[in-house]
Amino acid sequence: MADHKLPLEDLRVIELGTLLAGPFTGRLLGDFGAEVIKVEPPGKSDPMRYWGKSKDGVGLWWPIQSRNKKSITLNLREEEGQKILKELVKEADIVIENFRPGTMEKWNLSYEALAEINPKLVMVRTSGFGQTGPYKNRAGFGSVGEAMGGLRNVTGFKDRPPSRIGVSVGDTLAALFAAIGCLVAIHERKQSGKGQVVDTALYESVFSIMESIIPDYLLSGYIRERMGNILPGVAPSNIYFTEDKTYIVIGANADGVFRRLCKAMEQPELADDPRFATHDARGENMKLLDSMIEEWTKTLPAKEALAILEEKGVPSGLIYTAKDIMEDPHYKEREMIIYKDHPDLGEFPMPGIVPKLSRTPGEVKHVGPEVMGKHNVEIYHELLGYNLEQLKALEEKKII
């Protein structure tokens, strides 16, 4: 356990919703010490408990996504459950929800209703299209956000259909922006004494990272398309085949870096060749340049080519699999693979904390709670003051 105070220890978060975007926001806050209370309907768990690969019947995604969280059960569809949530809101700083807009209002849990109880409350609302606008009532998963945010159209190769990136990047981006917005609102609360709504849309989170596609279109008439592994007009920046039948990435598009690449290839004259001497020239002759670089990489095993490139100061790397990550000493030194005890699986590996803070770094205290409602007694009895008979009655009525 950490021997320092974690930076968000003074915050209590109620996490509603399921799957990715909302819960990932909760994970990010929990990594830095926030008390995150995960709410699931009794008898109907978050599907994330069972998504992905499993080991001995245990889903391998849940222990990571819900690490550091406490688990309670509560039926928000019933008035009694709604009243209990409002009692929790009195004791909370943040509510995270990622239902379709209007759901919280249908349950009498609008921000206005909750802010009457706790004016300092920050409500983080993540949805496909945001809380306003003509699309607000549409269902929206990360895949739809990636499509309508512009990312899918530029992902893949020109002669093939748009492709999915290999992880749920739309949800993850939304969670990152939601966490930033949440912390901004908490910071502002110190000045105003008031909470507010953080409205994060999946499609907007994707669109916000789409670089210059709008001025490209409006000011130059260019619609960016799928380009595979290259950057249009930026060279060299690609993957290159090696002697041992693998690929390495090389990024050497800046003039000085390109000159170092030419020295690594033992072809220093290429740096002054008019076809490659400037950024624009390299972009215009990208295919030729990439073929010349690959002619060099194909003569060497990947590790040998990378050692030469590293020695010359050329940004480069192997395209890692999970196996490569586990064997990499840098990952180990930076504590990016950590192990936490799991009651059924023993030592459970997972990604470490990002970012690294020098004085008050984050911490993973435990894996995601393996049992729904594991912390019901702690939260309802110790925090809210319900006696054990009341809890038993609530269980019988399927409120918790």
* Strand positions, DSSP E, 128-212: 197-201
Q: Is 171 a catalytic residue?
A: yes
Determine the Cα–Cα distance for residues 51 and 74; give it in Å rounded to an integer: 22
Coil vs helix vs strand at 362 = coil
Tokens of 377: 């007694």
How big is the CA angle at 326 (ends 325 and 327), to the nearest 5 degrees? 90
Determine the Cα–Cα distance for residues 198 and 196; give it in Å rounded to an integer: 7
Q: Running DSSP on this structure, what letter comes out for residue 333?
A: H
Determine the Cα–Cα distance for residues 215 and 211; give it in Å rounded to an integer: 9
Residue type (1 letter), 308: I
Whether the CB-CB separation of 75 and 400 falls below 8 Å is answered with yes
Determine the Cα–Cα distance for residues 309 and 293; give it in Å rounded to an integer: 12
31, 46, 171, 199: the active-site residue: 171
Whether the CB-CB separation of 324 and 318 falls below 8 Å is answered with yes
Whether the CB-CB separation of 127 and 101 falls below 8 Å is answered with yes
Whether the CB-CB separation of 208 and 33 falls below 8 Å is answered with no
Determine the Cα–Cα distance for residues 102 and 304; give it in Å rounded to an integer: 58
Peptide bond just before 7 cis, omega within 30 deg: no
Q: State the distance between the two ends of the chain, measured CA to CA, in whole angstroms.
A: 31
Determine the Cα–Cα distance for residues 224 and 334; give it in Å rounded to an integer: 36
Active site residues: 171
